[in-house]
Structure 1
Amino acid sequence: MAKKLAFLTIHGMGETEKDYYHILKQSLEKALGKDIWSTVHLEPIYYHSDLQEYQYNVWEKMRQRAPLSWQDLRKFMLFGFSDASALEHRATDDGSVYKKIQKSIIYSLKIARNQFSTNDVPIIILAHSLGCQVISNYLWDSHKNKGIWQQGSPDYPVFPPEQEDFLKLKYLRYLFTTGCNIPLFVAGFADIVAISKPNPDFKWFNYYDKDDVLGWPLKPLSPSYDLVVDKDIEIDSGNLWQSWNPQSHDGYWTDEEFIEHLSQVIKRLSS
């Protein structure tokens, strides 16, 4: 069956496997049925390969030199917070980690675009945790010709001219964010400005759990966030052992309420 919709996922902070999206994929296929799911092209964005090798190197050095308590928590904090700090470090430099991550997004978008005969394909992006800041940066830069999109930059992507609107996400219809920590990146600024809507039909749904200390509502951030974010949706994320504590940060993509809402949106766009 012909593909009607591009659905891209982008992971969050911390140690991440390349197949991070598989449980989500199974849940959506079950909720939608094979006929509808066959009209969706799922393309994961995986940017952690630009960071993980260095993090493992530091982790092994630390473990070998001294015994450490709370190793799982330490490892999460080392990988997670070094992700966040590396993302913004010297972001405008040629070949920076920031720009390498943007190229990871371009790589996945190119694969997705090749599944369709035209540019004006509806796109859904689902981002989690740090991935929300990553995709927000990409949208900001692509619309303002910053980052890898700056003319004359050696990092400027190579692509067929007819694909530009797709790669700049001008047909992005829905942005779903879960456990979003954008407030951690903008809280130190006097003026907090959100991305602009890429098109009049664009909608942004942000999911958070009050027990998730890394997940925040977005509409209270500033007037521009209040305008561009359609809804902050509070859910009780995670299983019995996660939902009442900060581990709820890892439970959004298996939450039944969230899967149901995402499935309904996919049904509407693929019908």
Structure 2
Amino acid sequence: MTKELVFITIHGMGETEKEYYLGLKQALEKQLGEEIWSKVHFEPIYYQTALQHYQHSVWENMRHSTPLAWQDLRKFMLFGFSDVSTLEHRATDDGSVYKKIQKIIIYSLQVARKELETNNIPIVIVAHSLGCQVISNYLWDAQNNKGIWQTGSLDYPDFKSEQEDFLKLKSLKYLFTTGCNIPLFVAGFADIKAIPKPNADFKWLNYYDKDDVLGWPLKPLSPSYDLVVEQDIEIDSGNIWQSWNPQSHDGYWTDEEFINPLSQVIHSLIN
């Protein structure tokens, strides 16, 4: 069946299973029904392969060297905060982790493009936590010929010229961010700039929970964020064990307050 929409997910920080998206995917399939979902090309981006092997090695060395209390919390902090510190370390260097992650995004987009008949197909992206910063970086670099898009870079992607607009996400209609921690990356800058809109129809909807200490509103960041982000939407994320505390960070993608409007957007983009 001809696909009418590309739906992309990108995960957040910390130890992440390859099928991190299953709860969200199943909820959308149930909400939309088979007829609508069959017109969607679903493409999850999994960038932990650039990080997780090394993190596991460090964790095992630490864990076996001496008794450590609060191991679950320590592991979460080791994986999560090393993601953050490693992501943009020497980002402009050839072969950096930053560029490796961008190349993973490119590869996933190329996989999706093979299933489509045209470049000009609506794209919806759902990004969580650190993934919000990852996809924002990718969009910024694609728009400004930075990162892997810099001419002459050894990491410049290999692609068919007619695919460039798709790979640069020029038909991105909606960016949904959940538990977004972009403020942690930009708070120290005097001039905080958001990505320009990739097209006139683009909408950025940012979901946060007031109890999620890793998730923030974005419009107050700067005038450019206020202009580009359509709405900061506060929800009560997660189940009864999550919604009132920082564990709400992990509850967005199965919460009806998020699933319902996301489903409505997908439905509206399908003919």
- The equivalent of 2:250 in structure 1 is 250
Q: CA deviation at 1:140?
A: 0.2
The corresponding residue for 1:39 is 39
For the residue of structure 2 that corresponds to 1:206, the secondary structure is: strand
What is residue 217 of structure 1 aligned with on the other side?
A: 217
1:133 matched to 2:133: yes
Whether 1:191 aligns to 2:191 is yes
Cα displacement string for residues 183-229 of structure 1 (whole angstroms, at most 9, x for unaligned residues): 00000100000000000000000000000000000000000000000
| Matched ranges for 1:74-153 at <5 A | 74-153=74-153
Provide the secondary structure at the position in 1 that maps to 2:185.
helix
4+ runs of 1 displaced by more than 3 Å?
none
Structure 2's unaligned 5+ residue stretches are none
In the alignment, residue 185 of structure 2 is paired with which amino acid?
F
Equivalent residue, structure 2, for 1:61:
61
Classify the secondary structure of the residue corresponding to 1:154: coil
The CA distance in 1 between the partners of 2:44 and 2:96, in whole Å, is: 22
Task: State the alpha-carbon separation in 1 of the partners of residues 239 and 73 from structure 2.
Answer: 19
What runs of 5+ residues in structure 1 fail to find an aligned partner?
none
Please state how far the C-alpha of 1:69 moved relative to its aligned partner. 1.1
Question: TM-score by structure 1 length?
Answer: 0.99
Q: C-alpha root-mean-square deviation of aligned residues, in Å? A: 0.5
Distance 2:244 2:69 in 1: 24
Question: C-alpha displacement at 1:65, in angstroms?
Answer: 1.2
Deviation at 1:257, TM superposition (A): 1.2
Normalised to the residue count of structure 2, the TM-score between the two structures is 0.99
1:167-246 to 2 correspondences below 5 Å: 167-246=167-246
Matches of 2:37 and 2:64 in 1, distance apart?
Answer: 47
State the 1:99 CA deviation: 0.1
Residue deviations 1:85-131 (CA, integer Å, cap 9, x gap): 10010000000000000001001100111111111000000000000
- Give the percent of matched residue pairs that are identical in Structure 1 and Structure 2: 78
